[in-house]
Amino acid sequence: MKPSSAIVGAGLQMMPNSMKVLRRIGIEDRVRGTSFQPYSHLNRVWDTGEILRELPMPESLFGAPYLCMHRGDLHEALLAGVPAASVHLQKKLAGIDERGSQVRLSFEDGTSAHADLLIGADGVHSIVRDIIVGPDEPIHKLYGYDAWNVPLTSTEARV
Ligand SMILES: Cc1cc2nc3c(=O)[nH]c(=O)nc-3n(C[C@H](O)[C@H](O)[C@H](O)COP(=O)(O)OP(=O)(O)OC[C@H]3O[C@@H](n4cnc5c(N)ncnc54)[C@H](O)[C@@H]3O)c2cc1C
């Protein structure tokens, strides 16, 4: 299947420390080309625009830029850094089995693959972590707060 970076998520802030990682893997220029470099990290009251907190983020201070971008653009940049044939979409990991110096990965669709090394980057509900260290409980309790992520055009966001 051809990798696709259809709309996935919304806006994303890339902090300078993360930009240093993207620099190291060779996609900094590409990411800069599709992002916006704000002067500061800014928190406003949602309905009045009142500034609650402002943290200037000059590139000269951190040695890398603070950028805002669309997640889809980040995905495109990351995909551009690896051979297309090495990305397999729609594969849900169901189990892993270490055999000598290899690991066998089995997927929900009944297929499997072998690898010398497995990196579990499967998020907060990681099945890789569950298999290796066992099921775990969240460190933080739920306090009942909600967070809303609302994509706005730059015109709509002008307050
Ligand atoms: C609303 C929101 C806004 C955020 N904004 C920012 C921001 O602006 N800047 C920032 O730096 N961070 C932001 N974060 C945090 C950031 O998204 C996470 O820290 C980051 O995505 C974690 O990366 P990850 O690779 O560990 O996991 P994830 O990004 O969750 O990736 C895990 C991947 O593994 C896949 N996966 C899961 N299980 C399986 C399986 N069994 N088989 C195959 N694949 C599987 C998932 O589909 C997913 O693609 C935000 C988070 C949220 C929820």
Q: How far is the CA of 80 from the centre of ligand 1 (A)?
A: 19
Q: What is the mean pLDDT of the chain?
A: 89
- The model carries a pTM of 0.82
Do residues 8 and 72 make contact, with C-beta atoms less than 8 angstroms apart? yes
Q: Whose structure tokens read 């009942």?
A: 144
- The Cα–Cα gap between 114 and 118 comes to 9
Q: pLDDT class for 135, splitting at 50, 70, 90?
A: confident
Q: Mutate which of 5, 74, 122, 127 to test ligand 1's pocket (most atoms within 8 Å of Cβ)?
A: 122
Which 3 state secondary structure label does DSSP give 11?
A: strand
How confident is the model over 84-123, as pLDDT tens digits?
A: 899 999 999 999 999 899 999 999 999 999 999 999 999 9
- pLDDT at residue 145 tops 50: yes
For the chain, the domains span: 11-86, 93-133
- pLDDT at residue 35 tops 60: yes
Name the amino acid, one letter, at 50: E
Q: Which residues, 6 or more positions from 96, have their beta carbon under 8 angstroms from its beta carbon?
A: 103, 104, 105, 106, 118, 128, 131
